[in-house]
Every structure is written in structure tokens, then in C-alpha cells.
Structure 1
Amino acid sequence: MERVAFLVDESGTRVDCLLNPETVQVTRLAGLRPRGGPDGPLTGAGLADDPLVFTGGGRTELVLDLLFDVDFVESPARPEDVRALTRPLWMLAENSTVEHGWPRPPLVRLVWGKTWNVPGVIAAIAERFDAFTITGTPRRSWLRLRLVRVAETADAAQAGFEEELATASTPTVAPGSAVVAAADGATEPGWSGVRFDLLAHDALGSPLRWRLLAEHNRITDPLAVPAGTALAVPAIGGAAPPPEAATTTGGTP
């Protein structure tokens, strides 16, 4: 299953969701307000609608409903408390970044397959727990997250995923060679310890190209790639079939 992930722009950290959301609600508020004067809004008895001032800009919000359950995590990484899985998402709503001297939440990118790549900040998060143990430990979480898209030009908003890839850095590994998956020592539940986004950065010049690297090596679950796996590096222009030596690395051949 291809999971939703949040990429923190400043640090390159990747925060994965345990499961894909069943629904995504997208809201767009246009840049406008009622026309007014010194004494209040301007209107008239013969008007069907109040006059408006078109200010430009606006606001785009995404609401994701996510499910986390410790029973979905493979042993031995399975935690007892589901909050161990959802805590990284809560931290994305904290004012951990400073801009122009003012604290703010970190800029993140919502990445989901090839069709969702939205830059923004986590504006709100709410969590409902159930499946409690006898000691009061929650094992399941229903989490709602609201992402507000950051300011972009209209052209940049339409360019999407492909434009982001075009600004990637130069790959450090030549196409046709291999990159070895190395664990970074972390022990997050449900994760092999291999930073697949960093592998994509080294091999293809951008962490957002992790999907291309996974497809080229026929990997169905990048979170479960064992440390030490050799991955074939594709050409950026297209993902040609991998060499026979790499067809069984990580996923289903």
C-alpha cells in the first residue's frame, strides 16, 4: 500500500502515515471581502448581493481523516501505545521553525503517490482514541488533520509534482549503478530504519523521487526495505526495467 507522507522541507525528515486516508476534503476560499466604507459595509435595498472587493490570493485547506492501530504494525516494532505512532504528526503542528524572528510550524509537503504534492503547514490536528487496555493505554486512534497550503503563485500551484522534480539537485550516483540501503539507527514502530527518501536524494537528486526508485526496483513497500539491499539506479527520464540482479530487492518481483 502506498502511504501518505509528510516531508519537512527544512530538515528533509519524512513522517509517514500508517494507512492511506479513506477520504480527503479540499476547500478553497477565494480572495474577496464585502465592499465597505468608513461607516460599515456598502449595500442597497435593490441589490441581490452585497458588493464585493476582490483582493486576490485566498486560502486552500485539506482535511485528512487517518486511522492508526498498533495491531497493523508488524512485530517486533509494534508499540503498546498508539500515541507512539501519531506523535510525529502532532509535532508538525508545533512552532518549531523561526521565520523573520517569529516562530511558526514547519513547512511540510503532503506527498501521496504521483498525484498529491501539496506544500503547506499543519494548522490543526485532533485525535480520538479507543481500544483501551485495562491500564488505560489506547491502541487505536482516529486522527483528523488540517493542512493549509502555503502562499504560492497560481502557476506554481498548477505545476505540481513534475515542476518540483525539475528543480532537484544533481544525483550523486550514476544511472545503471547501485545504491545500498543503509539503516540510520532509528527504531520507529513499523519502519525498517531505512530512509528511502534519502536514498532517492542520493541516487536521483531529490527525496521526492522515491517513487521512481521504488518502481524501478519493483518495491511495493519502501518502509520495509531491509538494510543492506542493493537498489538499481534508473535514468531520470524514465524507469527502464531493472537488471536481473536487482529484480528481487525489497519487493515483489
Structure 2
Amino acid sequence: MERVAFLIDTTGERVDCLLNPETVQVTRLAGVRRRGAAGTPLTGTGLADDPLVFTGGGRTELLLDLLFDTDFAEGQVRPGDVRELTRPIWLLAENSAVEHGWVRPPLVRLVWGKTWNVPGVIVSAAERFDAFTAAGSPRRSWLRLKLVRVAEDADRAREGFAEELAAAQTPAVAPGTAVVAAGDGSEAAGTSGVRFDLLAHDALGSPLRWRLLAEHNRITDPLTVPAGTVLAVPPVPATPTAGGGS
């Protein structure tokens, strides 16, 4: 499972959680709608498709499945109810911020490794609980949320995407050398405090290549790697070229 965080712009508060499964679904909706008059869609007589109006803009949506568990909570005192961990997410879906006299959900940033930093607002959240105590308090939560990226101009969006790709393709350490696993000071039960995804970013150019780093060093559980462990850096596999030619 991958660790991600949400940073609240106005307060700087950080909400940590786990991606489960390790996927993020991104949907892009272009600024296109059906042409209509007085709220009634117009039909295109003799046309294969309905007439469209191109409004420009659009929206980018991210769908995430998150896992919260009181056993994974950091700190010496663990909460007795997982809702203490998920409540900040629910508050991010409330209209608690004010902009130009209108209320709206607060701006939040999805941060994953060093290549994902997406500003947006949470527009929906759904939560499923299990692992209940005898008193009826849930200790585990499966939370699905939808985040809509905030408005950016097209040039900045292209620049940001190019920066993410460049960061994900440029290793900071040469193959055949070594990196040292540093702890982040946030050791929790069952973990060592080492951010293996960030380690993979520094060594291989992308946090998504953490499995390559783990397999090369014969590590079966990256969450238990002690701080100070020296890891060998493997070569990065060549990216297949278009057309699949040999």
C-alpha cells in the first residue's frame, strides 16, 4: 500500500492515509455540452450525433480508494475510533471556505511522493467501516473520495505535467552506486519510519519504481527496512519505444 497525504492550504494541516489498492483513477471531462434552447436539448434531425456547444475549460477528476486503520496511526496514543482519523477528510467536503463572498469546500493538495502535487477540492466522500470493537466503535475505514482539480490556465497545466514526467524519469543516483535509507522520524507500529517511495524517487527517478528497488535488494517488506540500511541502486529498465520494434 502506498502512503499519500492531503495538505490543507489555509491551515497547513496534513492528513496521512494509505492508497488501497495502489491506484489513482484520473478522468478528464472536456468543456462540451449538448446544444439546447430554454433548457431543452435540441435534436439533430438527420444527424448521426446531437449538436454540441464547445464551452472551453472542462474538469479533471481524481478518484481514490483510501484505507484508514487505528493500528497504523502514528503516535503513542492510538485513537479508539477510526472516525477520529477520517473526520478531517469529511470536513474537507464541507462548504467551510469563503471566496468572493461565496462558500465553497477548502482547497487541498494531494501529495504522493515527489511527483504528485494536485490542488483541488473534494466533492464527494463515501466510507465503509469494519473491525468493530465490542462497544461498536469501528477501527478500520475504507474511504472513497473524488477530488476535482482547481482551475488552472492551460499553459500552467501543461508545464506541471511536463515537470511531473521529467521528475519521474530522471534518477538522482547513478546505477551501481548505493543509497542510504533515512528515517522520517514518524515510526509507527509495524513500520520503520523509512519512506521507501521517496527512496525510490531519489534512486530511480520515480516513487512508482519502489518494487524494482526492493526486488534488487531482496527486500520482501519495505515497511520494515531499518533506517541506515545501505541499498544498491539497480539500472532503470529502458522505456519501450512506440511500435514495439526490437
Q: CA RMSD for the aligned pairs? A: 3.0
1:97-136 correspondence runs (5 A): 97-136=97-136
Greater share of residues in strand: 2
Change (3 A) 1:132 1:53: same
1:219-234 correspondence runs (5 A): 219-221=182-184, 223-224=186-187
Change (3 A) 1:224 1:54: same
Are positions 1:21 and 2:42 aligned together?
A: no
- Report how far residue 162 of structure 1 moved: 8.3
- Report how far residue 121 of structure 1 moved: 0.5
Equivalent residue letter for 2:89: L
8 Å Cα contact 1:3/1:20 also seen in 2: yes
Q: Deviating runs (4+, > 6 A) in structure 1?
A: 161-164
- Report how far residue 51 of structure 1 moved: 1.3
Change (3 A) 1:106 1:136: same
Question: Which string of whole-angstrom CA distances, capped at 9 and with x for unpartnered residues, describes residues 218-250 of structure 1?
Answer: 43545349xxxxxxxxxxxxx8xxxxxxxxxx9
- Report how far residue 149 of structure 1 moved: 0.8
- Report how far residue 29 of structure 1 moved: 1.2
- Residue 186 of structure 2: SS of its match in structure 1? helix
8 Å Cα contact 1:117/1:161 also seen in 2: no
Equivalent residue letter for 2:228: T
Corresponding position of 2:42: 42
Equivalent residue letter for 2:103: P
Equivalent residue letter for 1:21: N
Identical-residue share of aligned pairs (%): 70
- Report how far residue 151 of structure 1 moved: 0.8
Question: Which string of whole-angstrom CA distances, capped at 9 and with x for unpartnered residues, describes residues 40-93 of structure 1?
Answer: 433333210011110001111111111112223367332211112111211211
- Residue 20 of structure 2: SS of its match in structure 1? coil
Equivalent residue letter for 1:53: V
Matched pairs, number: 180
What residue ranges of structure 2 are gaps of 5+ in the alignment?
A: 165-171, 173-178, 189-201, 203-225, 230-246
1:1-253 correspondence runs (5 A): 3-17=3-17, 19-22=18-21, 23-37=23-37, 40-73=40-73, 76-160=76-160, 218-221=181-184, 223-224=186-187, 251-253=227-229
Change (3 A) 1:106 1:114: same
Change (3 A) 1:71 1:20: same
Change (3 A) 1:217 1:85: farther
The TM-score, its normalising length taken from structure 2, stands at 0.64
Corresponding position of 2:167: none
Structure 1 distance, partners of 2:55, 2:99, is 25
Change (3 A) 1:56 1:69: same
Structure 1 distance, partners of 2:70, 2:147, is 25
- Residue 81 of structure 2: SS of its match in structure 1? coil
Equivalent residue letter for 2:58: G
